[in-house]
Amino acid sequence: MTVDTLAEIDAELKRSTTPRTTRKQVFLYLSVDQKALIRPIYNLNSVVSMMKHFKWNDNADYKVDAICAREIGEPCELCLAAQEEKKLTASKTFFVPVYVYSVVSVKTGARLTYKDPNTKEQKPVVGFRVLELSAFGKISGVLTYFRSFLRDNPEHDITVCDFTIELSNSGTSNSYVVQPQPAKPMHPQIRAKAPALEAFRKVIIEARPPQIVQNDDMALGGLDDDIPTDVSPVPAQEAEDDIPEF
């Protein structure tokens, strides 16, 4: 088999200039024995859904995690690649906007923090984030739970209460456990500051940039900083009455 070295060089150069995922805190991810207290801010029938290409690789530089370019009306390089590499075939992904009150260690009770890329300070994981859900893999349990809750809840609405989501280990495998909290109105500050769905969609695309066919000279374009992921938490003085603790 003849190897087209120049084609490989071109492919690598193109990959090196492909927009990387944003450093902004967009998604909510949990490690084992972590629990998040969240509030969905849009009902399940109104969340963002897009086709996404995903292929795992232990080397982060070679992992594929990109919104299909067809979602933005462009020809998709990964759809072409999927004709030969079936693992690159796009699948439907559901992006659920939530407000995160806190993420804690189940074992120690310590709050999870992250390093702010601008100030280099450690900040608590709090504010607006996105739950990335699909019908496959362990995370499918969260999507299944929300779908059942929507069907069985008298108001057919997942925004009527807060939820805890915990990633636990049973000894043989990891699984997500979702628990609803008592129903109560959404905190007015969360409702007032919640970004529009289109703002979430734009930031998701920025975080999972599509790979566009023959689009080397075009940038995806900057996105407005519409989602205040580092928004201040609901005032502490109101927490006892309005925000349930773990």
pLDDT tens, 113-166? Answer: 988 888 889 999 999 999 999 999 899 999 999 999 999 999 999 999 999 999
Q: What is the pLDDT of residues 165-184, one digit of tens each?
A: 999 987 778 999 999 999 99
The tokens describing 154, both together, are 């008298």
Taking the model in full, what pTM does it have? 0.77
Residue 223 has pLDDT above 90, yes or no: no
**pLDDT at 25 (0 to 100):** 77
**pLDDT at 116 (0 to 100):** 84
Torsion of CA 198, 146, 175, 132, to 10 degrees: -10
| CATH of region 22-215, choose from 1.10.3470, 3.90.198, 2.30.30, 3.30.43 | 3.90.198
| Local structure of 37: helix, strand or coil | strand
**pLDDT at 131 (0 to 100):** 95
* pLDDT: which is higher, 227 or 106: 106
The tokens describing 56, both together, are 């795992």
Read off φ and ψ for residue 197, nearest 5 degrees: -60, -40
Residue 217 has pLDDT above 90, yes or no: no
Question: Cβ of 180: how many Cβ atoms within 10 Å?
Answer: 14
- The residue assigned the tokens 């057919």 is 156
Read off φ and ψ for residue 143, nearest 5 degrees: -65, -45
Distance in angstroms (rounded) separating the CA atoms of residues 242 and 246:
13
Boundaries of every domain in the chain: 22-215
Query: Stretch 192-205: mean pLDDT, rounded?
Result: 94
**pLDDT at 246 (0 to 100):** 29
Interior angle at CA 221, CA 83 and CA 58, nearest 5: 45
Read off φ and ψ for residue 177, nearest 5 degrees: -120, 125
Closest among 199, 204, 219, 197 to 74, alpha carbons compared: 219
- The residue assigned the tokens 């959404």 is 186
Is the distance from CB of 71 to CB of 33 less than 8 angstroms? no
* CA dihedral for 150, 156, 159, 162, sign (positive or negative): negative
The tokens describing 93, both together, are 């992904």
Distance in angstroms (rounded) separating the CA atoms of residues 43 and 25:
22
Residue 215 has pLDDT above 90, yes or no: no
How many Cα atoms within 13 Å fall on the side-chain side of residue 98?
A: 30
Residue 9 has pLDDT above 80, yes or no: no
Closest among 44, 48, 161, 167 to 103, alpha carbons compared: 167
Q: What is the pLDDT of residues 22-80, one digit of tens each?
A: 445 799 999 999 999 999 999 999 999 999 999 998 888 889 999 999 999 999 999 99
Query: Which residues on adjacent β-strands are paired with residue 174?
Result: 169
Distance in angstroms (rounded) separating the CA atoms of residues 53 and 66:
5
Question: Cβ of 101: how many Cβ atoms within 10 Å?
Answer: 25
**pLDDT at 27 (0 to 100):** 93
